[in-house]
Structure 1
Amino acid sequence: MNRFTCRLVQFDSRLGSANDDTLGRMREAIETADAELVVFPELATTGYNTFDTLDSIVESVPGRTTAKLGDIAQANDVEVVFGMPVEDDGDMFNSAIWLDSDGEVKARYNKRHLWGDERDAYTPGSKYLVVDAPFGRVGVQICYDLAFAEASAALAQANCDVFVNISAWSFRMERDWDTLLPARAIEQGAYVLGCNRAGTEPSGSFCGRSTVIEPDGTRIVEMGDSPGYVDVTLDPGVVETERARNPIRKDRPETTAEFELV
């Protein structure tokens, strides 16, 4: 892992297809970032509660939205992670897209653990995702994945330095968010970046509280519940120190979970 800066964008998404207003606000967040990585929440381009209109807003990847955001990523020489609904061979997925600094789709992760009505709308993914980024090895998760220790264990086995969880986490589940993020950091010996939604939809309100956790569970950044962004620099020395203090990663039995390394 190299020292790098990440921007977490606590986005208030608009319900519907990825329109010019949404992409324009995402562009502004990317263009003003002095960072190597910019992260947006789950289903950032369309909003969360789109189950009744999903057929009309879902896109393929690569596609129109990834092309537009890819141009922005390339122009600003930055890696970008964001959530969107994806259609692939007749199935629909709640996906995280990783764009590299050349503007290309480097990877796509399909959410494995679906929550509530998502089970009727989306197909669950089959593999975890690990990205070899220019600044380090990063595991990618979406929202409810955070609740399953075996999901994080699979990424730890791949020697990730950083875990990114993009979410649409609600107020009524806020205590779980506060508990699970530091727990995952400690058991993995890695930074955890929790990038959550802000705002309200017909289904309820999102709690925000986007957070950066050091490998020993210390919160170094925690936002409120309003839209905005925060920049934080991650230090490889912190990871090395914690792994020397706590050997949990070395001592954990291997998991049989499959992950994709890109």
Structure 2
Amino acid sequence: MKRFTASVVQFDSTLGPADDGTLDQMADAIAADAELVVFPELATTGYHVFEDLPDVAEPIPGPTIEVLSGAAADAETAVLFGMPVQDGDDVYNCAVWLDADGTVRARYDKRHLWNDEATHYTAGDAYTVVDAPFGRVGIQICYDLNFPAASLALARAECDVVINIAAWSVQMERDWHTLLPARAVEQGAYVIGCNRAGTEAGNTFCGHSTVIEPDGTTVVELGTGPGQVAVTLDPGVVAAEHERNPMRADRPVIDADAVRQ
């Protein structure tokens, strides 16, 4: 891992097609002085687009990717954001990683679908890790945070940073504050939780996008409204935590036969 700056955008998306002004707002935020800019889950369309997915989901490449790739290349920064992706007959709740030259490096299809998502999206079948110039980054989307097995997969991949992009609601806020530091400690990695702001279809998002050090210490936490904050992530902090707590070296390989009833 190298020292780098991540800019976390707590975004209040406009509900509907990405070209309704949302992409212009995102492009403005991408202009931040950072090596990586992070947006929440389904940032391009808003979260509650279930019935409109045939109209708002796009392929990769597509119009949304073209606009945001151009913004990433102009700013010379990597970008991670959420969007609904049409892939053949299936629609996925995706996190898309753009390199600093605008190239699509990776796509993560959300594996753990929450509530009505399971009716409208196809679940992904693999976790995603990006070997960025500044470090190894594991990607999650929202409800993935609840499942230790999801984090274990990224821990075994020895990520330096785990990023969860989310549309986390006020009703579930306590879980957000509990799980983010827990995941940091069990990973021995920085954790970035980038959440939605605002209210949509009667559902209010809790905000509180947070950057957490590997020992569970909060570096910065936004409030409930839209905002953007830049944080520098230090490889020395990760190395010190691995020395303090040797979980990575001691983590056993456990199979189903190791559990007795």
* TM-score range relative to shorter protein: over 0.9
Aligned match of 1:3: 3
Aligned match of 1:165: 164
State the shift of 1:76 in Å.
0.7
- Do structure 1's residue 210 and structure 2's residue 206 form an aligned pair? no
What is the SS of the residue equivalent to 1:127? coil
CA distance in 1, matches of 2:248, 2:120: 36
State the shift of 1:254 in Å.
3.2
Aligned match of 2:187: 188
CA distance in 2, matches of 1:95, 1:116: 16
State the shift of 1:203 in Å.
4.1
CA distance in 1, matches of 2:104, 2:39: 15
What percentage of residue pairs aligned between the two structures are identical?
64
Gaps of 5+ in 2: 256-261
CA distance in 1, matches of 2:88, 2:28: 33
8 A contact 1:154–1:255 mirrored in 2: no
TM-score (norm 1): 0.96
Gaps of 5+ in 1: 257-262
Aligned match of 1:81: 80
8 A contact 1:189–1:242 mirrored in 2: yes
- What is the RMSD computed on CA atoms of the aligned residues? 0.9
Aligned match of 2:14: 14
8 A contact 2:95–2:141 mirrored in 1: yes
What is the SS of the residue equivalent to 1:98? strand
CA distance in 1, matches of 2:202, 2:184: 30
What is the SS of the residue equivalent to 1:126? coil
8 A contact 1:153–1:255 mirrored in 2: no
Instruction: Number of aligned residue pairs: give it.
Output: 255
Aligned match of 1:260: none
Aligned match of 1:106: 105
CA distance in 2, matches of 1:115, 1:59: 21
Q: Deviations over 1:128-163 (max 9, x none)?
A: 000000100000000000000110110011110000
Aligned match of 2:234: 235
8 A contact 1:170–1:204 mirrored in 2: yes
CA distance in 1, matches of 2:151, 2:74: 33
8 A contact 1:49–1:203 mirrored in 2: no
Aligned match of 2:258: none
Distance 1:255 1:196, change over 3 A: farther
Q: Identify which range, 50-59 or 37-46, moves more after superposition.
A: 50-59
Aligned match of 1:259: none
CA distance in 1, matches of 2:170, 2:212: 20
State the shift of 1:252 in Å.
1.5
What is the SS of the residue equivalent to 1:53? helix
State the shift of 1:117 in Å.
0.3
CA distance in 2, matches of 1:94, 1:239: 30
| 1:6-155 correspondence to structure 2 within 5 Å | 6-31=6-31, 33-155=32-154
Aligned residue identity for 2:85: V
8 A contact 1:157–1:255 mirrored in 2: no
TM-score (norm 2): 0.96
8 A contact 1:10–1:208 mirrored in 2: yes
8 A contact 2:14–2:20 mirrored in 1: no
Distance 1:15 1:197, change over 3 A: same
CA distance in 2, matches of 1:244, 1:148: 26
Q: Deviations over 1:162-206 (max 9, x none)?
A: 000000000000000000000000001000000000000014100
Aligned match of 1:252: 251
State the shift of 1:253 in Å.
2.3
Aligned residue identity for 1:69: L
Structure 1 moving runs of 4+ over 6 Å: none
Aligned residue identity for 1:13: S
Distance 1:216 1:225, change over 3 A: same
Q: Deviations over 1:54-74 (max 9, x none)?
A: 111110011110111001100
